[in-house]
Structure 1
Amino acid sequence: MNFEFTKEEQAFIERVRDFLKREAEKDYASEIMAPEREGHAQLADSEERREFCRQLGKAGFLGLTWPREYGGKELPGIYDYLVNEELASVGAPLIGKGVGIIGKTLMHHGSDKLKREFLPKILNAEVEFALGYSEPGAGSDLASMKLKAERDGDGWRLNGQKTWNTSANFADWYWLAARTDSTGPKHKGITLFMLPLDQKGITVRAIETMAAHRTNEVFFDDVWVSDDYVVGEVNKGWSYICEALDYERFALYTFGPVKLKLDALVELLKNTERNGKPLAQHEHVQRVLARLSTRVEAAKGLQRKVICAAAQGRVPTVESAMCKLCSTELGQDISNAAMDLLGPEALLSHSAPGNVGDGAWENSLRGTVVDTIGGGTSQIQKNIIARRHLQLPNPS
C-alpha cells in the first residue's frame, strides 16, 4: 500500500484547507472549530454548525463519491476521507451521517420517491438525521429490538422506546428500525422507516453522559408512518442496518484527531518539568510515547485499508471494524497515558486553578469513553473481526 497522496489528492487537501481558513475568519468560527468537544465535535447541533455544513455543500465537498446520476462527482472513496480528516482536525462537523450512511443506503435500497426527496437535501445539507437503533434491552444485540410496528391501512403504527439516540433532540428526520414480524428468527422481522421527528406521538428526553455529551431516549405512542417511508423491503431491515453501520464506521472515525492528540501530549511533556528536567526526557515517558507512536502508525495503516476496500467497491465491514476498534481505544489510551505521566494536575478541569494543558486531558479522558461506544462498542467490533475475518464460530 502506498501511503503517500498523489498530486491530485494533495491539491484537493489544499482546497479543503483554504475553505477552512475562510470559514475560520467568520463570526461563528469558535462554534464551528471546537476540537475540545471530542467525539461530539462531529455533530451539526446548532444553527451555526448547520450553516457551516451548508457552506460545505455549496463548496462541493458533499457527495464526492456519489454517482453522477444522484448529483455526486464519482470520485474515489479516499476523497471523503480527505475532507473528514481536515474537518476532524479542527473539530468541525463531519460529512458522514447523511452522505455516508443514509445517503448511500438509500441509493442502494431506497425507493425512487425516497431518493428524489432526500438525496438532494443531503447534498445541500438541508436535513439532519437521527439514527434509531438501540433500545433499553437491545444495545449490543440490536436484533433483540422490540419497538413494534403494526400494519395500519397503507402504513404502520409504531409503539415502544429507543435509547442512546444522539441527534434526536435537534434532527429533522428519524432513520428508525422497528420490529414488523415477531414470529420468525429475530434478524428476519426488522424494517427500516423514515419519519419526521416533530411528528405527534414522539417524545424526546435527554440523557447526559460523563463526557458532557447529550444523547436521548425516545418514546413512540401510536406514531403512524406511511408505506412510502419504508426503506427497502419489509422485514429485511437487518441487512440494511448492518450495511449502514459499516458506512458509519467508515465515515465517522478518522485518524487525524488521534495523531493530533498524541502530538499535543508530546509537546506538553517537552514543556512540563519534574525533578529539574522536562518529562519528555525521562526514560519511562519516552518508552510510553514510543509505544503510542507505533500504535498511531498502525491506526493509520488500518484506516488506509478501509479506503482501499471502499475504492474497490466493497463495503469495508471487517476493515472498518478494525479501524474503529484501534483508533477509538488508542484515543482513550493516549488520554489515560496523559493522566499517568502528567500527574494529579491533569485531572483538573478547565475552570480549576493549577490545571495542566488548560484542562484538556480531563475533558479528553471523559470524551474518549463515548467514542468506544458509538457506532458499535469495542466488544462488537471484536466479535465482527473474530467471526467475519478469522471465521471463528459463535460462542456456545
Structure 2
Amino acid sequence: MRFTEEQRQFAAAVRDFCDSECKTLQQRDALTDGGTLANSPDLLAKLAELGWLGVSIPEAYGGAGAGMVEECLFLEQTSRGLAPITAYSTGLTAAQTYLRYGTEAQKKEILGGLCRGTLEAIALSEPEAGSDLGSARISAVADGDDFIINGQKTWTSAAHVADHLLLLARTSTGHTKHEGLTLLIVPTDAQGLEIRPIETMEAHTVNDLFFTDVRVPSESVVGEVGRAWWHLLRGLSVERLIIAAMAVGAAQRSLDDLLAYVKQREQFGRTIGSFQAVRHRVADLATEIAFCRSFVYEVAEGIDAGEEQQLAREGSMAKLKCTEVAKHAALEAMQLMGGYGYAREYGMEGQVRKAHAPPIYGGTNEIQREIISKSLGL
C-alpha cells in the first residue's frame, strides 16, 4: 500500500522518538534496570502523553480513533527502536475483545487505561492447554452474584505489570469442548491470586498464575457466559497481525545494525560489505523484510476497510512469515558480525534472544500452518 503523508509523518515521529529515548544500550539499560525489565513505565507515560498509545482505539475511550494501519506503524517503529514497552501489545490484543464484546463501563476503564499507559494481560494457556485452548480447565463457579475461580494459568505475558487479566475460564461443560468457556476480568491484586515469574532467556515477561477461591462479581463477564471461544477468535487473529508488525520492526533493526557494521568494518583492506558473500546475504534480508512489510500493511488496510473475511488466514500468514524472517535476520546479522554479534555491547545478541519467542507465542507457527492449510481446504 501507499501511505498517506500523515501516516509517513507519524511513523517518522515515532522513529525519531525512539532514536532520542532508547537508541543506545546505555539508554535502554537506564530504562530497564540494566536490561532486567521488559517494560519502562516512564517511557509508556511519555508515549501516552503524546497520544500514541491506543492510536487505533476510538476517541470515545481515550484513543486517537485511527486504524490498524497506524497501529502497525506504531508497533513496527517502536519494535525497530527497541522501545521497552512489550506489554503494550498484550493490552492491545485484549482491547480487540473489549471493543467488540465489552460493556461501556468495561471499555471506558480498560481501553481508557491502556491509552493512559496502564497495562493489561490475557490469561489463556494452561499447563495442559496451550495450543488447544478449548481444553482449558480452570473453573469459574457461579456463587450468587459472583464467580469463584480456582486453577492455574501459565505463560501469561505481562501479568506482573498489568492492572487486570482477561481470563479464559470454564463455567460449564457443553456438547463440544469450546462451549462453556467464559471471559472474566480479574484484577491482578485480587485476593487469592498468586503471580509467579517464569525465568526465560529474556527479561521477566511471562508468569504462572495460581487462583485459589478468587472471587469476582458477575459484572466481570466480558460478552456472553459460555461464548468465550467465539469472542476470542477475532482478537486472536488481530493479535497475529500485531505480532507480525512488531516482527517487521525487529527484522528491520537487525538489518539496520548489520548494515552499519558491514559498511564500517574492514578486513583484507576493504569493508566486509563489499564482499559478494556478504552483500548478497544482506540483499536477501532486505528483500524478505520488504515483502513482509508490504503484506502486513495490506492486511491492516483490509481490516480498516471492513474486509475481515480473510483475517484468520492472512493474520496467520503474516505472523508465520514475519516472525520467521525476524528470527532469520537476527541470526544472519549475528553470523555476519562475527564476535561482535555475540557481544552485548553491539546489541545483536539481544535481538537473537528476542527473536526466538515470537514464532512460539500468539499461537505457535506450527498452529499457524494448520490454520492456513485448513483455510485452503486441506
Could you say whether these structures have the same fold, taking a TM-score greater than 0.5 normalized by the shorter chain as the test? yes
Counterpart for residue 290 of structure 2: 297
Residue 382 of structure 1 and its aligned partner are, at CA, apart by 1.4
The aligned amino acid for 1:7 is E
Distance in 1, Cα, partners of 2:256 & 2:369:
28
The aligned amino acid for 1:84 is L
Q: How many aligned residue pairs are there?
A: 369
Residue 8 of structure 1 and its aligned partner are, at CA, apart by 2.4
Residue 212 of structure 1 and its aligned partner are, at CA, apart by 4.3
Q: Does structure 1 residue 280 correspond to structure 2 residue 269?
A: no
Residue 134 of structure 1 and its aligned partner are, at CA, apart by 0.7
Distance in 2, Cα, partners of 1:328 & 1:157:
38
Change (3 A) 1:22 1:91: closer
Q: 1:9, 1:79 within 8 Å by CA — same for their partners in 2?
A: yes
Superposed CA deviations along residues 62-116 of structure 1, whole A, max 9, x for unmatched, are 3333334434443333222222233222222265333x32333212111233224
Q: Does structure 1 residue 382 correspond to structure 2 residue 373?
A: no
* Residue of structure 1 aligned with 2:348, choices 328, 342, 361: 361
Counterpart for residue 307 of structure 1: 300
Change (3 A) 1:31 1:341: closer
Change (3 A) 1:55 1:266: closer
Q: 2:19, 2:81 within 8 Å by CA — same for their partners in 1?
A: no
Q: Does structure 1 residue 192 correspond to structure 2 residue 183?
A: yes
Q: 1:349, 1:363 within 8 Å by CA — same for their partners in 2?
A: no
The aligned amino acid for 2:258 is L
Superposed CA deviations along residues 238-260 of structure 1, whole A, max 9, x for unmatched, are 12222222232233433222112
Extract unaligned runs of 5+ from structure 2.
none
Residue 159 of structure 1 and its aligned partner are, at CA, apart by 1.0
Q: 2:51, 2:63 within 8 Å by CA — same for their partners in 1?
A: no
Identity %: 32
Distance in 2, Cα, partners of 1:239 & 1:118:
20
The aligned amino acid for 1:391 is G
The aligned amino acid for 1:9 is Q
Q: Does structure 1 residue 91 correspond to structure 2 residue 89?
A: no
3-state SS in 1 of match to 2:347? helix
Change (3 A) 1:10 1:365: closer
Matches within 5 A, 1:266-277: 266-274=259-267, 277=270
- Root mean square deviation of aligned Cα: 2.9
Residue 208 of structure 1 and its aligned partner are, at CA, apart by 0.9
3-state SS in 2 of match to 1:163? strand
Q: 1:33, 1:90 within 8 Å by CA — same for their partners in 2?
A: no
Q: 1:140, 1:376 within 8 Å by CA — same for their partners in 2?
A: yes
Structure 2 length-normalised TM? 0.87
Q: 1:138, 1:145 within 8 Å by CA — same for their partners in 2?
A: yes
Q: Which moved more, 1:170-179 or 1:80-89?
A: 80-89
Distance in 2, Cα, partners of 1:276 & 1:15:
39
Distance in 2, Cα, partners of 1:9 & 1:151:
48
Q: 1:97, 1:251 within 8 Å by CA — same for their partners in 2?
A: no
Distance in 2, Cα, partners of 1:73 & 1:382:
34
Distance in 2, Cα, partners of 1:101 & 1:310:
14
Q: Which moved more, 1:16-25 or 1:148-157?
A: 16-25
Change (3 A) 1:258 1:221: same
Distance in 2, Cα, partners of 1:50 & 1:384:
36
Counterpart for residue 354 of structure 1: none
Superposed CA deviations along residues 294-318 of structure 1, whole A, max 9, x for unmatched, are 2111111211222211221244332
Counterpart for residue 377 of structure 2: 391
Counterpart for residue 4 of structure 2: 6
Change (3 A) 1:171 1:188: same
Superposed CA deviations along residues 31-89 of structure 1, whole A, max 9, x for unmatched, are 5878x97xx99x53xxxx22332332332223333334434443333222222233222
The aligned amino acid for 1:376 is G
Distance in 1, Cα, partners of 2:67 & 2:113:
22
* Residue of structure 1 aligned with 2:153, choices 162, 171, 177: 162
Counterpart for residue 315 of structure 2: 320
Distance in 2, Cα, partners of 1:21 & 1:271:
20
Distance in 2, Cα, partners of 1:361 & 1:13:
23
Change (3 A) 1:66 1:170: closer
Distance in 2, Cα, partners of 1:244 & 1:67:
16
Residue 386 of structure 1 and its aligned partner are, at CA, apart by 1.6
The aligned amino acid for 1:12 is F
Distance in 1, Cα, partners of 2:127 & 2:297:
35
Distance in 2, Cα, partners of 1:33 & 1:88:
15
Counterpart for residue 360 of structure 2: 373
Residue 161 of structure 1 and its aligned partner are, at CA, apart by 0.7
Q: Which moved more, 1:148-157 or 1:49-58?
A: 49-58
* Residue of structure 2 aligned with 1:153, choices 144, 148, 163: 144
3-state SS in 2 of match to 1:184? coil
Distance in 2, Cα, partners of 1:346 & 1:211:
20
Distance in 1, Cα, partners of 2:283 & 2:138:
48
Q: Does structure 1 residue 173 correspond to structure 2 residue 168?
A: no
Residue 332 of structure 1 and its aligned partner are, at CA, apart by 1.1
